[in-house]
Amino acid sequence: GENVEQHPSTLSVQEGDSAVIKCTYSDSASNYFPWYKQELGKRPQLIIDIRSNVGEKKDQRIAVTLNKTAKHFSLHITETQPEDSAVYFCAAVLEKLTFGTGTRLTIIP
Amino acid sequence: EPEVTQTPSHQVTQMGQEVILRCVPISNHLYFYWYRQILGQKVEFLVSFYNNEISEKSEIFDDQFSVERPDGSNFTLKIRSTKLEDSAMYFCASSPDRGSGAFFGQGTRLTVV
């Protein structure tokens, strides 16, 4: 089955700086890659996604890139703010979501 | 905005007891899922359900687990004889089609004592 690796497991960034989280997947048939943000004690919330026929997608301060050949995809957050502090999960979808191990992002004011 | 809803938000049960976790998926969604998250760990897939049957299940989803869609709106997860290691947050999710992102409920925190 699909296996998704995610790095780093923790990331601390000064407010206003950029944060990058990277994931790799194993099944080349996976064709959809969502990112979820989970605040403490809350549900995972879909924040951005990308399909396999697209290399990059941007939504305000967040962007995702996908390299199908290398089977990796990344989340980029620019101009980070304290409310960006959360655990971020990448996922790969073929028929179900397979999650990465999560990145705890802390924005330092 | 439509949401996946789950009840109860927190369930405490004795080891060996049966529990039923309930979910109401988003109404026009066709695919339903249960995931669990042990505290501080990643979200793990349990089972997917489509067209009134299980479409895929993980190794975690053994004979102690079952799912049901008893009517047109509810989707339930039953654990027949709970174990201490079943303590986790259980998330229900739904999606409009296969190969899309899923929308999660707020979770049921199951504590087995």
Model pLDDT for residues A59-82, shown as the tens digit of each residue: 999 999 999 999 999 999 999 999
Contacts of A44 in chain B (CB under 8 A): 43, 91, 104
Among the residue ranges A1-5, A19-23, B18-22, B61-65, the one predicted with the least confidence is A1-5
Q: Does B2 have pLDDT greater than 90?
A: no
According to the model, what pLDDT value does residue A56 have? 95
Distance separating alpha carbons of residues A1 and B11, to the nearest angstrom: 32
Place of tokens 């923790």: A10
Q: Does B22 have pLDDT greater than 80?
A: yes
Contacts of B41 in chain A (CB under 8 A): 101-102
A35 in Cβ contact with B99 (< 8 Å): no
Distance separating alpha carbons of residues A63 and A15, to the nearest angstrom: 18
Residue A81 sits at the chain B interface (C-beta within 8 Å): no
Residue A43 sits at the chain B interface (C-beta within 8 Å): yes
- The Cβ-side half-sphere exposure at A43, using a 13 Å CA radius, reads 21
Quick count: other Cβ atoms within 10 Å of Cβ A103? 22
Closest B-chain CA to A42: B106
Instruction: Kindly report the nearest CA distance between residue A51 and chain B, in angstroms.
Output: 9
According to the model, what pLDDT value does residue B1 have? 80
Q: Is A102 close to B42, i.e. CB distance below 8 A?
A: yes
Which of residues A1 and B36 earns the better pLDDT score? B36
Q: Looking at residue A16, what DSSP letter applies? A: T
Confidence of residue A54 (pLDDT cuts 50, 70, 90): confident
Distance separating alpha carbons of residues A33 and A48, to the nearest angstrom: 9
Place of tokens 């709970």: B82
Q: Does A36 have pLDDT greater than 90?
A: yes
| Average confidence (pLDDT) over A53-63 | 94
Confidence of residue A95 (pLDDT cuts 50, 70, 90): confident
Region class of B80: left (phi > 0), else alpha (psi between -120 and 50), else beta: alpha
Contacts of B45 in chain A (CB under 8 A): 96-99
Instruction: Kindly report the nearest CA distance between residue A80 and chain B, in angstroms.
Output: 23
Quick count: other Cβ atoms within 10 Å of Cβ B76? 15
Instruction: Kindly report the nearest CA distance between residue B98 and chain A, in angstroms.
Output: 6
Inter-CA distances, B9 with A36, B12, B108, B109, Å: 21, 10, 4, 6
Q: Does B99 have pLDDT greater than 80?
A: no
B105 in Cβ contact with B48 (< 8 Å): no
Residue B100 sits at the chain A interface (C-beta within 8 Å): yes
Instruction: Kindly report the nearest CA distance between residue A64 and chain B, in angstroms.
Output: 15
**1-30 in A: which are within 8 Å (CB) of B?**
none
